[in-house]
């Protein structure tokens, strides 16, 4: 997989914020996170066409860095949204009285069709449905739109929209490699998109710039995030290490999962190959050869090796003694091959172990031991032509010589959000939530400060704070609640706060074409872009209806929760959602 991300250039974003978080970043001049931003938005009348984040420099002169910058960013966004509301404050809530007779009859017919579809729920489920015309702002249909229900993965819309608006659509995650004496540092900042190919390329780049024989240790620095790894609401025991509940970490690889390839052989047992192998992984292969259908299965568990975690003292928190144990069982024919995927126990150690192996192979040298610690913090300013100067010799704040060896940059945030929403990737959503917490709070990113940012963002949209409840960034939770009217408000405002080509609508899957909507709402001429959501007893569909010019015309949200003890299956719930959306498409024409 080719990545537009291995770069010899270090683009400095939220510089003061990063310094306050203890990262090894030179002090920049406080460049804005959103590329088009150079001045703070003060309110209506003076506003640019799309939200512009304020600069992150120390405008208050308090030296606080990211804490004050994050607060200014949230306040500026709230003021911008407030300005958007003022010109349309007198707009009608329902659009009644603003249509000629033919239009009103068409609208009445639409409402009757939707009501007939919702009648199929009977008493088996509760629904929250809200539909709005984007051009006029008129509410075309509402049925308990203010009722908070579990949205399942539709909660990812809140996380994704907040990331685009508050971090900026062109925000890029950075992963850096530094050298100090005989130690090589691999420093993560939450990139959710690093895969094996990307990490191999980084290893080759580093191997060309250092002499492995002069090094003794690879130090993993994942302190941009807190020590917590498993999102609230996730069940660590779920699915015997299921990949969709993978842990989160500031340094991650392959969505913090490992691909296990089991092949039949002429030997006593099938062979097992891992992608990517790491010293963090331990395999217990009890699979056997047998004729008939394959029954091979895998289980991922956490293994603790007593005493190993003590070598780094309290800073490592015993993590160095943690391994991911992969247990294989079942049978496989000698001429068959199966692929399985399981989560890892510790993202930083897994990624560090994999990188150490890749580096040894690329540099024809020893495999470095992996430790956990914070990297040195760089002092001074980095040159503008960094690409031409790497590896760059500089100094840490304590005067220690440090070499900046390489920098890996992700694709722009709006592209990553597209991958997140198209495939409903839980891991990527948690990474974004924690990144928001880190960047806007000056503290290591976790679910507490990330959730605080999301709640502030939701309120800035003008939504009722009581209409949003959540545990994590992905919506994989029994306790999440959101109203359909709140989600539609988020969609409608995203059309005005975000740049064309990098908006929420551009990131959503297309019905009948891509992602989780690939096999739904077929034959709709690719004019529906929406986010799905499904849990046991929960379904949701939120998105846009496009007009014939492929411009968003209607925003809608449908959230269905089956009442306790009732039976109303996922297929039937999806049929209700799809029939409502088809009715909306016919209305748009």
Peptide bond into 276 cis (omega under 30): yes
Q: Is the pLDDT of residue 56 over 70?
A: no
Distances in whole angstroms, Cα of residue 241 to Cα of each of 196, 290, 303, 327, 377: 20, 25, 13, 10, 36
| Local confidence band at 49 (pLDDT 50, 70, 90 cut-offs) | low
Least confident of 235-239, 309-313, 543-547: 309-313
Taking residues 135-164, what's their average pLDDT?
97
- Express each pLDDT in 320-375 by its tens digit: 678 999 999 999 999 999 999 999 999 999 999 999 999 999 999 999 999 999 99
pLDDT tens-place string over residues 405-450: 999 999 999 999 999 999 999 999 999 999 999 999 989 999 999 9
Residue 256 has pLDDT above 70, yes or no: yes
How far is 45 from 499, CA to CA, in rounded Å?
A: 19
Residue 312: pLDDT above 90?
no
Q: What integer pLDDT is reported at residue 583 of this predicted model?
A: 98
pLDDT of residue 304: 84
Model-level pTM? 0.89
Q: What is the pLDDT of residues 455-470, one digit of tens each?
A: 999 999 999 998 999 9
pLDDT at 557: 98
pLDDT of 310: 42
Strand pairing partners for 551? none
Which is nearest to 362 in space by CA: 218, 254, 200, 215? 200
* Percent of all residues in the chain with a pLDDT value above 70, rounded to a whole number: 84
Q: Which pLDDT does position 44 carry in this prediction?
A: 31
Confidence of residue 306 (pLDDT cuts 50, 70, 90): low
Mean residue pLDDT across the chain: 87
Q: How many CB atoms lie within 10 A of CB 282?
A: 14
- Report d(CA 151, CA 402) in Å as an integer: 48
CA–CA distance, 294 with 510 (Å, rounded to integer): 35
pLDDT of residue 448: 97
pLDDT tens digits for 489-511? 999 999 999 999 999 999 999 99
| Confidence tier at 18 by pLDDT (50, 70, 90) | very low
Ranges of each domain in the chain: 101-154+467-588, 174-409
* Confidence check: pLDDT of 25 > 50: no
Which pLDDT score, from 0 to 100, does residue 93 have? 56
- pLDDT digits over 198-212, tens only? 999 999 999 999 999
Q: Of residues 26 and 456, which shows the higher confidence score?
A: 456
- Residue range 101-154+467-588, CATH number: 3.40.710.10
* Residue 30 scores a pLDDT above 50: no
Q: What is the pLDDT of residue 87?
A: 54
**Between residues 166 and 2, the one the model is more confident about:** 166
Mapping DSSP onto H, E and C, the string for 278-330 reads CCCEEEEECCEECCCCCCCEEEEEEEECCCHHHHHHHHHCCHHHEEEEEEEEC
- For position 388, what pLDDT does the model report? 76
Question: Tens digit of pLDDT for each residue in 87-110?
Answer: 544 444 555 556 788 899 999 999
Report phi then psi at 141, rounded to 5.
Answer: -160, 140
């Amino acid at each position: 997989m080719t990545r537009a991300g291995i770069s010899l250039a270090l683009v400095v974003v939220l510089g003061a914020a990063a310094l306050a978080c203890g990262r090894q970043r030179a002090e920049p001049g406080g460049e804005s996170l959103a590329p088009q931003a150079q001045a703070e938005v003060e309110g209506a009348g003076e506003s640019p066409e799309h939200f512009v984040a304020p600069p992150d420099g120390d405008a208050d002169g308090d030296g606080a860095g990211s804490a004050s910058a994050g607060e200014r960013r949230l306040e500026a966004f709230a003021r911008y949204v407030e300005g958007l509301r003022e010109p349309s404050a007198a707009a009608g809530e329902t659009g009644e009285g603003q249509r000629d007779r033919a239009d009103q009859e068409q609208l009445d017919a639409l409402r009757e069709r939707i009501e007939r579809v919702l009648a199929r729920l009977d008493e088996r489920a509760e629904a929250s449905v809200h539909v709005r015309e984007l051009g006029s702002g008129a509410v075309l249909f509402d049925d308990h739109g203010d009722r908070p229900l579990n949205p399942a993965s539709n909660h990812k819309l809140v996380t994704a929209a907040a990331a685009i608006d508050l971090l900026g659509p062109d925000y890029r995650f950075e992963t850096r490699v530094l050298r100090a004496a005989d130690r090589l540092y691999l420093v993560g900042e939450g990139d959710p998109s690093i895969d094996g190919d990307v990490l191999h390329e980084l290893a080759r780049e580093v191997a060309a710039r250092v002499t492995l024989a002069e090094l003794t240790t690879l130090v993993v620095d994942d302190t941009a995030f807190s020590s917590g790894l498993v999102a609230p609401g996730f069940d660590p025991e779920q699915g015997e290490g299921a990949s969709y509940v993978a842990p989160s970490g500031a340094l991650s690889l392959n969505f913090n999962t490992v691909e296990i390839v089991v092949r039949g052989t002429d030997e006593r047992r099938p062979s097992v190959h891992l992608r990517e192998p790491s010293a963090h992984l331990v395999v217990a292969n009890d699979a056997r050869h047998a004729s008939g259908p394959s029954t091979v299965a895998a289980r991922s568990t956490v293994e603790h090796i007593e005493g190993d975690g003590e070598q780094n003292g309290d800073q490592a928190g015993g993590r160095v003694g943690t391994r991911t144990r992969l247990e294989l069982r079942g049978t496989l024919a000698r001429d068959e091959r199966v692929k399985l995927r399981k989560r890892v126990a510790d993202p930083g150690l897994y990624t560090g172990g994999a990188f150490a192996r890749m580096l040894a192979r690329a540099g024809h040298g020893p495999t470095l031991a992996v430790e956990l610690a914070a990297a040195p913090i760089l002092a001074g300013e980095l040159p503008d032509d960094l690409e031409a100067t790497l590896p760059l010799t500089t100094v840490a704040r304590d005067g220690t010589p440090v070499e900046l060896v390489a920098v890996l940059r992700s694709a722009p945030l709006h592209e990553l959000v597209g991958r997140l929403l198209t495939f409903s990737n839980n891991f990527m959503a948690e990474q974004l939530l924690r990144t928001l917490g880190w960047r806007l709070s000056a503290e290591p990113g976790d679910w507490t400060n990330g959730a605080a940012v999301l709640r502030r963002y939701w309120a800035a949209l003008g939504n009722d704070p009581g209409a949003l409840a959540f545990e994590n960034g992905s919506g994989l939770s029994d306790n999440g609640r959101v109203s359909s009217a709140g989600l539609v408000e988020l969609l409608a405002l995203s059309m005005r706060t975000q740049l064309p080509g990098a908006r929420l609508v551009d990131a959503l899957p297309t019905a009948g074409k891509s992602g989780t909507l690939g096999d739904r709402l077929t034959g709709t001429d690719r004019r529906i872009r929406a986010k799905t959501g499904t849990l046991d007893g929960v379904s949701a569909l939120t998105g846009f209806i496009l007009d014939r010019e492929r411009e968003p015309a209607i925003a809608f949200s449908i959230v269905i929760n089956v009442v306790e003890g009732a039976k109303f299956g996922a297929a039937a719930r999806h049929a209700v959602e799809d029939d409502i959306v088809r009715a909306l498409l016919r209305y748009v024409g």
